[in-house]
Amino acid sequence: MTITAERLAPPRTTNAAIWVSDVEALCRPDSVEWIVDEADIRERLTARLIEAGTIFKLNPDLRPNSYLARSTEDDVARVEGRTFICTPTKDAAGPNNNWRDPVDMRSELLELFSGSMTGRVMYVIPFSMGPEDSPFAQYGIQITDSAYVALSMLTMTRSTARLRERLTAGAPFVAALHSVGYPLHDDSGASRSDVAWPSNSRKYICHFPQLDEIWSFGSGYGGNALLGKKCFALRIASHMGRKQGWMAEHMLLIRVTSPKGKKYHLVAAFPSACGKTNLAMLQPSMPGWKVETLGDDIVWMRLDEQGQLRAMNPENGFFGVAPGTSTKTNPVAMETVSRDTIFTNVALTPEGDVWWEGMTKRAPSMLTDWLGNAWTPESGTPAAHPNSRFTSPVANCPTVCEDWEAPEGVVVDGIIFGGRRADTAPLVAQAYDWEHGVLMGATIVSERTAAAEGTVGELRPDPFAMSPFLGYSLTEHWLHWLEIGEQISADAKPEIFHVNWFRKAEDGSFAWPGFGENIRVIDWMIRRIESQRTHVADRANSDFHVDLGERVQYTPAGIVPETGAVDTEGFTPEQVASLEAAVKVDEQEWRRELERQQAYLEGYGTSVPLELHTALAKLRGLLK
């Protein structure tokens, strides 16, 4: 069968068997295999990857059931410049996205995918984002010619034989098509040998939101290839949520239990490599506090019948950044990856274990680096790639919350935004109201990290930590947040905060110790949440904020704690002084910051919701 643009053009068939057959005819693989999460299937995929040299078995005595993969040098991170939102109009994609006309893009992709799987196995993975029977759940089918991707998808999503039956019986699904773009035969009959990490210099990650489709070509790495993650769970799901009245956000989700035994649920949006996983797996330094993990990267939120905002992590695994993770920074993550984990682009020790920068205080004297070369501390290059990763099941996490798969999700008590900034942004600030909170999210600025293309350390706007992951216009996203806020019951509306764990002291060191000490900031947040709930009526009648006689300051950054408001028991005098510097709001810095925010909003013209301009004007009114 010849597959034309018209054959796969809208409306796409919702019959799973027909769609799989269409893709098979287009890509022309040697064989087709349906893959679900069963032990014999995992073993088969693993054996193939070891034989191909794509993965290496680690020392089972040190790292049971774990493997190391090495990519090529040109396939190590998201390719934002080659990521497209294909909507009928450019305005629908928004200025935040790379846009392509869907008909033109599909025509180009059809040429690329034609015969792209010759000589290969075409794997078909039915999967669910969220527990299969949850009202949050959305189904997908990923087709790929990469056994590495197929095996990773079995960790990152839920894939069962029962779900396959549902999908082939007609359940709706997001269609996710992926090829590494390295066919082993061509139409002339010429052949070539396979390589350990096949990829293509031409790369496309394309989303068709109106069709619930994803087409990814040329990359076998991370979010470019594991299409249930950023592509589905954020770009396509955010578009779904906008239409259907829910939200898909780049957030962690935790349960915090106070010493009195009361439970709170917090979501937090940070740009990649800015501490999401560390906070998601926080081990509190303060006695009596407990933090449990529900998710480390993606959260779906929807309103229940009582007007409460409920949240769920739709993923089944962690895809975390390895460098900087250690028993000091994140002992929970280290225990999580102690077994059943695929590591990608980290270094290998002579004993058959893994290593990366920041894992230990000193580097081993000899390693094999992420490119497979001999390495010593004198080599002058990183042993592990800065964006090296681990893929591990959520069930491995020792702090996983018993309700992490509760089908109804959990009620959200607080929302946290944050970024990586050396100055200006205080350690913590509370929003004056929901509109100010949305402004906080919309104006996040963070230092660029190795997880994305560009110069590391450069400041870039990353509203809601969603710039690379939103499937429609940013300003429509801000409006969606405002609309959701109006629907939340007044006595259940989450408080919104902004944090900056990375504020620098004058000597260039971090002003805040972070890690387990972050519970002190969360303790302050929870006291603020309880206080505001007590004064719901007062707040409703207030134009801006209510003075509750607490030790707080009302600043252009938001409500910040006064000296002594954050628990510093056990701190040295030097640490207390450092905390005071970390929460300080400098008038001149914030005059410039609000000017930056004003210019940033004006850059989006008349599409910015009026409520954000109003919130900004109120903050400017607090300047002396």
User: Which residue out of 27, 274, 397, 401 is catalytically annotated?
Assistant: 274
β-strand partners of 414:
266, 495
Put the strands of the sheet holding 290-295 in their side by side order.
Answer: 290-295, 252-257, 263-269, 414-418, 495-499, 428-430, 558-561, 552-555
DSSP-derived letter for residue 607 is G
Direct distance between the N- and C-terminal alpha carbons of the chain, in angstroms, rounded to an integer: 72
Is there a catalytic annotation at residue 274?
yes
Distances (CA, A) of 355 to 159, 278, 326, 396: 31, 18, 10, 20
Q: Is 540 left (phi over 0), alpha (psi -120 to 50) or beta?
A: alpha
Contact 263, 257 (CB under 8 A): yes
Euclidean distance between CA atoms 571 and 478, whole angstroms: 39
Task: State how beta strands 138-144 and 55-57 pair.
Answer: unpaired
- Region at 28 (left for phi over 0; alpha for psi -120 to 50; beta for the rest): left
The contacts found for 42-47 with CB under 8 angstroms, 24 or more apart, are 42/151, 42/154, 45/147, 45/150, 45/151, 45/154, 46/151
Q: How many angstroms separate the CA atoms of 337 and 343, rounded?
A: 9
Q: DSSP of 316-359, one letter per residue?
A: SEEEEE-TT--TTT-HHHHHHTTSS-EEES-EE-TTS-EE-TTS
Question: Please, what is the Cα angle at 234 between 252 and 152, to 5 degrees?
Answer: 80
DSSP 252-278: EEEEEE-TT--EEEEEEE--TTSSHHH
Look up tokens 């560390």; give the residue: 278
CB-based contacts of 89, cutoff 8 Å, min separation 6: none
Burial 18-39 (b: 16+ CB within 10 A, else e): ebbebbbebbbbeebebbbbee
* Amino acid in position 378: E
Which uninterrupted H or E stretch holds 534?
helix 518-534
490, exposed or middle or buried, with CB in 10 Å at 0-12, 13-18, 19+? exposed
CA atoms within 13 A on the CB side of 26: 27
**Omega before residue 382 within 30° of 0, cis:** no
DSSP state, residue 186: -
Cβ–Cβ under 8 Å, residues 265 and 320: no
The number of helices, as runs of H, and strands, as runs of E, in the chain is 17, 31
| Residues with a known catalytic role | 274
